[in-house]
């Protein structure tokens, strides 16, 4: 699949939306400030991090350009809890039926502690490096 680029990233105005296919089936979707990644496999999409809530239009335009319905989003992977990584996770869970996966160190923050359980517990092996703090 090819995506028609709005412009080359170096020529964009700050904050302008753009999509780029990095390698076949892996796309960067967002703006010059912030983006998420979409991975396509046999018509199903997984989003890795999902930007701020205001980035929803870029995500839905990307899916429309791929002739993919919202229901084709099967999973969202959150690399860590920060608002700029998880802003559309709940919306994709509720509207697309996507599974949302989050590391167990970030589970409480992602679920806002008082919210009902929405995200499954995911425990991949993690190596914390110098300068890398659990939950950051």
pLDDT at position 7 is 41
Residue 46 in contact with residue 77, Cβ under 8 Å? yes
- The tally of domains found in the chain comes to 1
- Residue 40 pairs in a beta bridge with 45
* Joined tokens for residue 43: 């018509």
- Stretches in the chain below the pLDDT threshold 70: 1-16, 82-83, 85, 106-136
Answer whether residue 92 is part of any domain.
yes
pLDDT at position 103 is 73
The CATH number assigned to the domain holding 40 equals 3.60.15.10
Write the DSSP assignment of 119-130 as a string of letters. S-EE-----PPT
Residue 96 in contact with residue 71, Cβ under 8 Å? yes
Q: Could you tell me the residue range of the domain that residue 48 belongs to?
A: 16-99
Residue 68 in contact with residue 60, Cβ under 8 Å? no
Answer whether residue 48 is part of any domain.
yes
Answer whether residue 108 is part of any domain.
no
Answer whether residue 30 is part of any domain.
yes
- pTM, two decimals, is 0.70
Answer whether residue 3 is part of any domain.
no
pLDDT at position 94 is 93
Q: Which of 16, 14, 15 has its CA nearest to residue 5? A: 16
Long-range contacts of 30-34 (CB under 8 A, 24+ apart): 30/55, 30/58, 31/55, 31/58, 34/84
The residues, any chain, with a CB within 8 Å of residue 84's CB and separated by 6 or more, are 34, 49, 51, 52
Q: List pLDDT tens digits, range 63-88.
A: 999 999 999 999 999 887 766 767 88
């Amino acid at each position: 699949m090819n995506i028609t680029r709005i412009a080359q990233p170096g020529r964009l105005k700050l904050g302008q939306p753009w999509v780029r296919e990095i390698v076949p089936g892996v796309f960067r979707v967002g703006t010059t400030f912030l983006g998420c990644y979409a991975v396509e496999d046999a018509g199903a999409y997984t989003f890795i991090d999902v930007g701020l809530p205001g980035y929803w239009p870029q995500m839905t335009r990307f899916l429309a350009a791929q002739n993919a319905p919202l229901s084709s989003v099967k999973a969202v992977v959150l690399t860590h809890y920060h608002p700029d990584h998880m802003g559309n996770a709940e919306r994709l869970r509720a509207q697309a039926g996507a599974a949302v996966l989050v590391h167990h160190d970030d589970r409480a923050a992602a679920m806002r502690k008082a919210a009902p359980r929405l995200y499954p517990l995911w425990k991949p092996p993690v190596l914390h490096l110098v300068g890398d703090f659990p939950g950051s």
